[in-house]
Amino acid sequence: MELVMLGTGSPLPDARRAGPAQLVGVDGRWFLIDAGRGCLMRLVAAGVAPTAVEQLLVTHLHSDHVTDVNDLITTRWIGGLPPAPLPVVGPPGTDQFVDDTLQMLGPDIAWRVGHHDDLPSGPEVTVTETEGTTDGSIGDVLLDDGVRITAAPTDHRPVHPTVAYRLDVDGRSVVLGGDSVPCDGLDALCAGADVYVQTVVRDDLISAIPLPRLQDVLDYHSTVADAARTAARGGVGTLVLNHCVPAPGVDPDGPNGRAEWLAMAAEHFDGEILLPDDLDRIPVGG
């Protein structure tokens, strides 16, 4: 099992970091979690064609996590020989979001169907909505060929409902936490996980900036310390800091550099801690 950090950025455009998107590879099978800004560019840079994505898992419908869903739908459709359905899993509201996206793409779909005889109809997208459970009893999204995907509810209110995902294969596991403050759902998914990926913010820096709209992000995101404590409670092997706000500085040892972020997390978690760049590849388990 391998985790590929396609996009590690935040809602603020960053030339170095694409929008939130992670890719989990299992023996040539690829599962995409969120599809933020620039996702398809990073997907191809990672050597994975859009047609190779087996399933898209959406944590929530904030725009920065779904801006490239339309691109994934279209590119996968026109690149498929023949086109294959795109399975999408997400919280309640995802079905309506996909319907709205297809409606927005309506003129483009009509032109392509009208011009290409081997495209008799538009893209097929199948949607499964889930709120998950904290005990996993009815939280399974997929159990097929050795891959188990479990969803659990998270707390990103006022955005609601939101979910996180855990993928298990042959005793190896990775948790994609999305945007959330600490909650029972994250604790349930993280228990014994090899890798835990979590959106994090620097509360010390954000609270010093007198912009209410920026300070509001503290209400519904995990701080670095929050994520580290969640990882420690779960006994995870590796904590991955992701979707960092504000974006870490270019100099890893300078102000707001990677070293500061890692040191803050290390105060609460003694496992491996990573703050990756786009396209970094992280092995999961043995």
Tally of domains in the chain:
1
pLDDT for res 56: 96
Is the pLDDT at 211 greater than 80? The verdict is no
pLDDT of residue 285: 82
The pLDDT tens digits for 1-11 are: 999 999 999 88
Position 218 pLDDT exceeds 60? no
pLDDT of residue 143: 63
Looking at per-residue pLDDT, the higher value among 102 and 285 belongs to 102
More confident position, 142 or 70: 70
For 202-260, the DSSP string reads -HHHHTTS--HHHHGGGGSS-BHHHHHHHHHHHT-SEEEEEEEESPPPSSTTSTT-HHH
Residues classed as catalytic: 64
User: Tens digits of per-residue pLDDT, 75-93?
Assistant: 999 988 888 899 999 999 9
Task: List the beta strands (DSSP E) in 37-99.
Answer: 53-57, 86-90
pLDDT higher than 70, residue 164: yes
Residue 254: pLDDT over 90: no
Q: Give the CATH number, domain containing residue 103.
A: 3.60.15.10
- What pLDDT, in 10s, does the model give residues 38-64? 999 999 999 999 999 999 999 999 999
What is each CA distance from 61 to 65, 146, 197, 210, in whole angstroms? Answer: 7, 29, 18, 28
Question: Which pLDDT score, from 0 to 100, does residue 157 have?
Answer: 83
Alpha-carbon distance of 160 to 240, in angstroms, equals: 24
pLDDT given for residue 54 in this prediction:
93
Say whether pLDDT at 235 is over 50: yes
Cα angle 61, 62, 66; round to 5: 65
| Spatial separation of the C-alpha atoms in residues 87 and 95, rounded to whole Å | 11
Residue with the larger pLDDT of the pair 228 and 14: 228
Residue 205 contacts residue 222 (beta carbons within 8 Å) = no
Average pLDDT over residues 228-257: 91
According to the model, what pLDDT value does residue 219 have?
66
Domain that includes residue 74, residue range = 2-283
Mean pLDDT value across residues 234-259: 89
CB 262 within 8 A of CB 275: yes
Handedness of CA 190, 192, 195, 201 (dihedral sign): positive
Q: What mean pLDDT value characterizes the chain?
A: 90
- Determine the pLDDT at residue 142: 64
Tell me the pLDDT tens digit for each residue of 101-145. 999 999 999 989 899 988 888 999 999 999 887 665 445 666 667
| Residue 138: other Cβ atoms inside 10 A | 11
